Structure 1
Amino acid sequence: MNIYLFLAGMLCLLLGIAHSIIGERNIFSSKRTKGNIVPTQAGTYITEKHLQIIWVVWHFVSVFIFFIGGIVLNISLNKNKYYQDSNEFIIQAILLTLTATSILILLGTKGKHPVWIAFLIIISLLLIGM
């Protein structure tokens, strides 16, 4: 087992779960009518349809990072030489994706959203584990 890849995968799983829970609690819970899963109470500057697509994309990001974690965990547990080249390619693709995402979040929020730091930690673990 590759402990660095394992830790990176676990952090991705935790990040995906935290992202959904925190978003629901801090952003979407006040925009939902009783009994509805999808928020419908839009504000002055956003329509109901836009709010709903933001909700969908928010959870898409959570699912995406969750499954990235699953892929990394699988690679960390099954270091098979037969799949070495493809595993390396997959980790490199994940590294590039998370690096670009971290930079976008850092620039887009002027460093105020802390997830870019979490991505840097995951990126570091992936680099060490390669």
Structure 2
Amino acid sequence: MNIYFLSAGILCFLLGIVHSFLGEYLIFNDKRDKGKLVPSKESSELKERHLRILWATWHLASIFGWCIGSVLIKVALTKNQQNIEFVDFILQSIIYTMGISSLLVLVGTKGKHPGWIVLLIIGILTIIGN
């Protein structure tokens, strides 16, 4: 078992969970009518359709993170039983995805959002494990 891939995969799941819950609480909670799942209260800046796609995209990021986490955990548990070239391609894709995502969040938030650190750690763990 590769502990670095396993740790990176677990971090992906934790990041996705925190991302979704905090987003719902800090961003979308006051933008929905009571009892509704999808926020739909328009504002002067956002039309309802824009708010709804932002909400969906917000949660897509968490789902994609869980998908990457499941891949990392699967590779951590069974790397020696799989096609090495294919696994290396997947791992390189994850490394670049996490690195670029970390940089995007760092620049986009001027370093004030801690998500860039977790994304970077996941990328580094994947590099070390590879």
TM-score by length of structure 2 reads 0.96
Q: What residue in structure 2 maps to residue 19 of structure 1?
A: 19
Q: SS state of the match for residue 79, structure 1?
A: helix
Aligned residues: 130
SS of the residue 2:116 aligns to: helix
Q: 4+ runs of 1 displaced by more than 6 Å? A: none
Provide Cα deviations, 1:93-125, integer angstroms capped at 9, x if missing partner: 011111111111111111111100011111111
Whole-Å separation in 1 of the counterparts to 2:68 and 2:82: 21
Shift of 1:82: 4.2
Tell me if 1:78 matches 2:78.
yes
CA contact (8 A) 2:105 2:116 kept: yes
1:80 CA displacement: 2.2
Tell me what 2:52 maps to: 52
Aligned to 1:128: 128
Q: Distance between the aligned counterparts of 2:99 and 2:121, measured in 1?
A: 11
The CA distance in 2 between the partners of 1:65 and 1:129, in whole Å, is 18
1:67 matches 2:71:
no
What's 1:89 paired with? 89
Once the two structures are superposed, what CA deviation does each residue of 1:64-115 show, in whole Å capped at 9, x if it has no partner?
0111000100000002254211111101001111111111111111111110
Pairing 1:27-46 to 2, within 5 Å after superposition = 27-46=27-46
Determine whether 1:106 maps to 2:70: no
Give the gaps of 5 or more residues in structure 1.
none
The one-letter code of the counterpart of 1:119 is: L
Letter in 1 for 2:10: M
Equivalent-residue separation in structure 2 for 1:80 and 1:101 (angstroms): 28
Distance 1:59 1:107 in 2: 21
